[in-house]
Structure 1
Amino acid sequence: MLIAQITDVHLGFDPDNPGELNRQRLDQVLNVLCQGPNRPDLLLATGDLADKGDPESYRQLKEALGICPFPVWPCLGNHDDRTNFLQQFPEIPTADGFAQYEVDLGPLRLIVLDTLEEGRHGGAFCDTRARWLTERLDEQVEKPVILVMHHPPFEAGIQWMDIHPEEPWVRRVASALAGRGQVRAVLCGHLHRPMVTQWSGTTLAVCPSTAPQLALDLRPIDPDAPDGRAMIVADPPGFAFHWWNGRDLVTHFETADNHVTLAKFDARMQPLVRGLFSERR
């Protein structure tokens, strides 16, 4: 099973521009997913779908996603507006008023969380949402689970985007996952860069954004002393593939730029391929 992930689309950042850069970058990624060699079985869209949470941006998002010949399962980020999103995507399930739900994929379960607290940049996960997650995890303890949410619950080292690892919402998610061996991975967005870490006994992967990326600068930052460092960079639009091979979830990060081919599978490369396959037997 091949699961694609996009995140941090930020449609409507330049609302009066019919050729908005963020829409172009989104379309570029979707074209790769739909027309490329690795067409996924489904697509996760992990939050900050609209930059200002306005209805028009969600209308454009629905239009853009309409080319996808596979299901799309979204979640909400801090730039999103829950009411406006659900008006445009009424088919997305809710629980206790939050846009969180589960999807049965046969060999896997997706559990999609809502970590939005409107007006707050960082994540949120209240007792109500935590209780719902605990109940879902209690229902099936053997079937592998992939947890999906916008906000990564760990310190990444980019201080101006970091959270405190002991924030209450982080503790609630960690408590729900404690001892849950069926949770094979947590998939997030928000940080506009590819990252992988271990968290709460499982693997956590952060998808790069379709919108421009964060600059990689791990130096301490002083909020009261602007130092001219790069913060946002025009790196290519990114996305992720998560391949479930029946045992493990393997994550690949990719960009939607054109790739220069230096070798292809032809008669010259055939002996190498044959040799590699022979070693597997």
Structure 2
Amino acid sequence: MNNGVLIAQITDTHVGFEPEAEDEEFNFVRFREVLEHLLAQSTRPDMLVLSGDITDGGQRECYERVRRLLATCPFPVAIIPGNHDNREELLRAFPDCPTENGFVQYARQIGELRVLCLDSFDPERHGGAFCDVRAAWLERELNSHRDTPTLIFMHHPPVVAGIDWMDPRPEEPWFRRFHETVAGHRQIVAIEAGHLHRPLHSSVVGIPLSVTPAVAPAVSLDLSPMDAEHADGRAIVATEPPFYSLHLWRGGVLASHFQPVGPWQTLARFDKTLEPMMRGLFGERH
């Protein structure tokens, strides 16, 4: 992209939730529609990041379906695992995906922006993980490029969002380790995550954090406490529209856009009737 770097993010596709449906599966159809919408944009991203939960159960055939779909992308695709994924099957389908000490994490330089893809997956739990090995890798990457603007992608947001059944404990050890690792690194412009199936804006030791909503159905927004022993009938998951995001780095500033995909009606187009308004808007820039 001219005059900047544009990175797309798609997360939580959960392909394989209905494995018998194959290419007509609800989640796969939503993924295909999101990718088609992204590819139809007049401005193409410099890179696409798939930030985890690519499949729903780590099935080999689901990664193959995703691989075939991504073959249509005319730009690089970076992939990291989520808690529903399987590292071995992911790497079987995407053998060019780099690893570090067994973790799917790596760095990419896109123009003046450095992108760090971090593996926060622990196969033993739903929540995230960030062990000493991963922390040492991230520390090395950050220390070796202290003057390069850096964007971190990971599946699990290292914050408590307030959705009780999705949240980890506030005192999670991996939270503390991650916060300590990134603290003081002023070159980190933002942290981008998935996992919550909802949009979220927060911060980690002063670093902006945002969560891209899912391609799969959304987690319903309910910030009231939950008692796991007493079902209260609250909404848990809803078929809100699928999303992707676009992260634009330009002029030393990061702007993140969240795009829903659906059969929306266009209410206005830039035709001759809108030229006076546009001339006035552009005239205010002088």
TM-score range, shorter chain: over 0.9
Structure 1: unaligned runs, 5 residues or longer: none
SS at match of 2:30: helix
2:46–2:110 Cα contact (<8 Å) kept: no
Q: Give the corresponding residue for 1:181.
A: 186
CA distance in 1, matches of 2:35, 2:20: 22
Q: Give the corresponding residue for 1:8.
A: 12
Structure 2 residue 92 is the aligned partner of structure 1 residue 107 = no
TM-score using structure 2 length: 0.96
CA offsets 1:222-265 (integer angstroms, 9 cap, x no match): 10110111101001111111111131110111111122122211
Q: Could you tell me which of 91, 96, 100 is aligned with 2:96?
A: 91
1:192–1:207 Cα contact (<8 Å) kept: yes
Structure 2 residue 278 is the aligned partner of structure 1 residue 277 = no
Structure 2 residue 133 is the aligned partner of structure 1 residue 128 = yes
* Residue correspondence of structure 1 range 3-152 to structure 2 within 5 A: 3-18=7-22, 19-152=24-157
Aligned letter for 1:7?
Answer: T
CA offsets 1:44-72 (integer angstroms, 9 cap, x no match): 10000011011111111101111111111
CA distance in 2, matches of 1:240, 1:127: 30
CA distance in 2, matches of 1:251, 1:205: 8
CA offsets 1:16-52 (integer angstroms, 9 cap, x no match): 1131111100000000011133422211100000110
What is the CA RMSD across the aligned residues, in angstroms? Answer: 1.0
Q: Give the corresponding residue for 1:243.
A: 248
Structure 2 residue 233 is the aligned partner of structure 1 residue 228 = yes
Structure 2 residue 253 is the aligned partner of structure 1 residue 252 = no
Aligned letter for 1:57?
Answer: C
Aligned letter for 1:197?
Answer: S
Q: Could you tell me which of 171, 174, 178 is aligned with 1:166?
A: 171
Aligned letter for 1:255?
Answer: P
Q: Offset at 1:121?
A: 0.1
Q: Give the corresponding residue for 1:197.
A: 202
Identity of aligned pairs, percent?
A: 46
Structure 2: unaligned runs, 5 residues or longer: none
SS at match of 2:19: coil
Q: Offset at 1:193?
A: 0.8
2:150–2:189 Cα contact (<8 Å) kept: yes
Q: Give the corresponding residue for 1:154.
A: 159
CA distance in 2, matches of 1:228, 1:110: 42
CA distance in 1, matches of 2:145, 2:99: 20
CA distance in 2, matches of 1:172, 1:242: 26
Q: Give the corresponding residue for 2:221.
A: 216
CA distance in 1, matches of 2:143, 2:44: 33
Q: Offset at 1:105?
A: 0.9
TM-score using structure 1 length: 0.98
Q: How many residues align?
A: 281
SS at match of 2:272: coil
